[in-house]
Amino acid sequence: MASTYSSSLRIELIGAGEQAGTWNTTTNTNLGTLIEAAIAGYVAVSVTSANQAFTALDGAADQARNAVIALTTTTGANFNVYAPPQEKTYIIDNTTAFTATIFNSTVLGNTTAAGTGIAVPAGKKLIVFSDATNFYTIEAANLTGVLAVVNGGTGVTTSTGTGNTVLSTSPTLVTPILGTPTSGTLDNCTSNTETFGTSNTQLATTAFVQAAIAGAATFPSGTAVLFAQTAAPTGFTKSLTHNNKALRVVTGTASSGGTTAFTTVFTNQTPTITTSGLSVGATTLTTAQIPSHAHGIAKGCADSGFSGGGGDGVAGTTNAAGGGGSHDHTITGTATSTAITLDVQYVDIIIATKD
C-alpha cells in the first residue's frame, strides 16, 4: 500500500509494507524536519505580488508548515497572503511598511479567499489561527488578568490599583486633581479646582495651574503698572492718557503736571542773544578827572580883573579849570552762542491697568 499524507501538515504516512529498510529516512524527515517546523519553525517569505500563496508540499519542507512566518515585500503596497485550507496556528511577523492580510485558500495553492482574513499592520507581530476557512486572532476582550495588548484589542480602561497594566489605547485620564472627585468612577470623574494657595499632595488641574500663574502676580483691578514693551500683556489694558512725559518720584500724592513734552525739552538747544540797542550810560567828569590845564590870554586891559594885570599888553590866565560836560561811549563787536546738548538717553515704557 502506497504512502499517504496527513491533511493538516502534509506529513508522509507510510503504507503497510512500504519503504522496507528506509523507514529511518522518512521518519527522520517527518519528525526532525516537518513536525519540528510546524512547532518551532521560522521562515522568511518574500511577497512579490498583491496576492501570493504560501508554498505547501507533501512530505517536504515548505513555507506554510512553519510556526512563524516573517513577511517581506517588493510590492510597494498592501498585500494578501494565502495559507492552505487547513486548521493551523501562525505567528505572522509583518516586517514591511504595508498591511498584510492572511486568508485561507479555497483550494491548496490558489489565491481565492475561503473566508474572512486577519489584517496584520505594518511592522507588527500577530498570533492568528484558522478553522480551515476563516482566520482569527486573540482579542483582549477574550482574555483576563494583567494584559500587554499590542494589537487587535480595545485595551483596558480600568484598574484595580494593583499590578501593572499596559493599555493599547489611551483611556480618559483620571481628573480628580486638586480636590476630591465630585462624581464618577476612578477612570471617569470630574473634580473641584482648588483656590490659589492650596498646598497639599494632590495633583493640579490645568485650571489650578493657570490660576496659580496669574495669582503669583495678582494686582487689584485698575492697578497701573509700567511695562517696557509696546503692547499690554494679557490681563492688562494699555493706558492712552499719558504720552511723551517723564517720570517723577514723589513721597506724597501721585499726580501729573507740566506743559512741555519730554522730547521737546530734551533736545539740543541753541540760545538766542540779542545785541541791538546796547549803549554805555553818560558820565560827567569831575574837575579832578580833567587833566590839569590853563588858558593863556594874548591881550588884556589894565584893571580888567586878570591876575598880574597893570596895563595894556599885560599877559595873564583865566580862572576856569574845566567845563563839567558829559558824553556817551558806544559798543562795537559781535555776539555768539553755543548749542547746549540735552539729547538725553531714554527707554520707552507704557502704563497699563489691570483688567
Owning domain of residue 65: 4-137
Look at residue 187 in the predicted model and tell me its pLDDT: 46
Q: What percent of the chain has pLDDT over 90?
A: 25
Which of the residue ranges 34-43, 86-95, 204-213 would you say has the lowest mean pLDDT? 204-213
Tally of structural domains, the chain = 4
* Residue 309 included in any domain: no
Do 237 and 150 fall into the same domain? no
* Residue 266 included in any domain: yes
- Name the residue type at position 74: T
With cut-offs at 50, 70 and 90, classify the pLDDT of residue 318: low
* Residue 64 included in any domain: yes
Do 86 and 13 fall into the same domain? yes
* Residue 290 included in any domain: no
Do 100 and 128 fall into the same domain? yes
Do 74 and 203 fall into the same domain? no
Higher pLDDT, 81 or 200: 81
Query: Is the pLDDT assigned to residue 328 strictly greater than 70?
Result: no
Q: Provide the grid cell at 40.
A: 518551532
Do 126 and 187 fall into the same domain? no
Do 45 and 122 fall into the same domain? yes
Query: Is the pLDDT assigned to residue 42 strictly greater than 90?
Result: yes
* Phi, psi angles (nearest 5°) of residue 206: -65, -35
- How would you classify the pairing of strands 87-94 and 68-73? parallel
